[in-house]
Amino acid sequence: MKEAKYYTVKELAAKEKIPEIFDTGAHLIYSSPATLAYNSPGAQGFGVKRAGLTMPESVMLIVSPGCCGRNTSAISVNEQYKHRYFYYLLDETDIVTGRHLSKIPEAVKEIVDFLAVKPKVVMICITCVDALLGTDMERVCKQCEEVAKVKVRPCYMYALTREGRRPPMVHVRESLYSLLEKQKKDPRTVNLLGFFAPLDDDCELYRYLKDIGMHHIYELSRMTTYADFTKMSQANFNLILHPEARAAAENMRKALNIGSIELTRFYQVEYVHRQYHALAKALGVTIDDQADYEKTKAVIEMMKSYQNISIAIGETGNYDPLELALALVSYGFQVKEIYATLQDYQLRYLSALSSLSPATKVYCNNEPTMLYYNMESSIDLTIGKDAAYYHPKAHHLDFNEDRQPYGYQAIQLLFSKMKEVLS
């Protein structure tokens, strides 16, 4: 009988490199129904097309065959995206000859001339077609700026490069922040980089930064005008909250002389505690997190009555699935299964996870043998929409809202929502 391939955490921890079943470039892709919500840079969540329009007062020209652009119509019904997407549909001759490249500047000019309220930025979203053609989109964008007299930046919706050195979600962050120009620094200003939606309003990080004298805490997603966005170049330093923002932060260091400190979203309360102390030490200040630390430990303690439940964790939520699994098993919960496309930086969690829960199974959603996944296995709670597909009878927690949980607030929110769905 055929069955879905998996590795236990213990087996993975003993490996010197990530097995091929977790490398989507090493095998055929199975578009499991579990992945339909995210298995495309243009699908739900913040794919390239939504991310590009995080820039205030911008519009987007999508240059693609009709099939690649059609899912944008679903996004366009949201009020914040209405009348902001435009299309240049490629025909067969365009795809074979690349003749569309010479027409893009006029298309951008036509958009700018047509709009009563002129955009400050036009983002051009291109697809795998131009990846295969080897299009120099930076050059095309410069031609557009000369013709249309507006700032133009590229967005690469290249599914082919998703596991490459510069995947689309890394590049779109570089494109957006490349619009910043050098200004005089304000020592009381800090940028939060990494997400395309703000942190939850009650995240303690805002409070800590204000307590140490940061008067302005800037996030791209909270900017309502392009002029507001440009103030981000006044920052004294950046806090990188997602590893996909590292390249953009490095570019800002070179171009704007803004240094960065990287923080990780942990669900292990001790790591959150240590990270705030490390941040305070790096900045030469004091961060008093004791009250939040004690409150979070109390919240975790109150959930001990649910420790006998079995949990499956998917990869579509606001967390790293391996780090979340490690946090939950360290609190005494039973994590039976994880669904993830593993990256090298995640391997640091495997050793500790192996010592606490060696039999936990790790699957890859896109691996073809997932077609044979046995959906009869007993799971009480799923976290992540993909995990919910495999266990339809369990309690489900998506935990994938646009607003981003972080720090102690993230742990408290997670346990609050777990209790809500289990009650």
Distance CA 14, CA 350 (A): 9
Dihedral angle sign, alpha carbons of residues 323, 327, 330, 334: negative
Per residue in 230-288, pLDDT (tens digit) is 999 999 999 999 999 999 999 999 999 999 999 999 999 999 999 999 999 999 999 99
Cβ neighbours, 10 Å, residue 100: 23
Domains of the chain: 6-30+290-422 (3.40.50), 48-166 (3.40.50.1980), 189-262 (3.40.50.1980)
User: Are residues 319 and 399 in contact, defined by beta-carbon separation less than 8 angstroms?
Assistant: yes
Distance CA 328, CA 307 (A): 9
User: Are residues 326 and 352 in contact, defined by beta-carbon separation less than 8 angstroms?
Assistant: yes
Per the prediction, the chain carries an average pLDDT of 92
Per residue in 387-399, pLDDT (tens digit) is 999 999 999 999 9
More confident residue, 40 or 158: 158
Distance of CA 295 to the CA centre of its chain: 28
User: Are residues 48 and 54 in contact, defined by beta-carbon separation less than 8 angstroms?
Assistant: no
Give the rounded percent of residues in the chain with a pLDDT score beyond 70. 96
For residue 192, what pLDDT is reported? 98
For residue 156, report the phi and psi dihedrals to the nearest 5 degrees.
-105, 105
DSSP class per residue in 323-365:
HHHHHHHHTT-EEEEEE----GGGGGGHHHHHHH-TT-EEE-T
Indicate yes or no: pTM above 0.85: yes
Average pLDDT, integer, range 160-173: 80
Is residue 42 predicted with pLDDT exceeding 70?
no
Per residue in 68-115, pLDDT (tens digit) is 777 677 777 788 888 899 999 998 898 888 899 999 999 999 999 999
Please report how many Cα atoms fall inside a 13 Å half-sphere around the Cα of residue 406, on the Cβ side. 27
Distance CA 258, CA 86 (A): 34
Alpha helix segments (H runs only) across 199-336: 204-211, 226-230, 246-256, 269-283, 290-302, 321-330
User: Are residues 53 and 114 in contact, defined by beta-carbon separation less than 8 angstroms?
Assistant: no
41 pLDDT band, cuts 50/70/90, is very low
For residue 1, what pLDDT is reported? 63
Residue 92: in which H helix or E strand, if any? helix 92-97
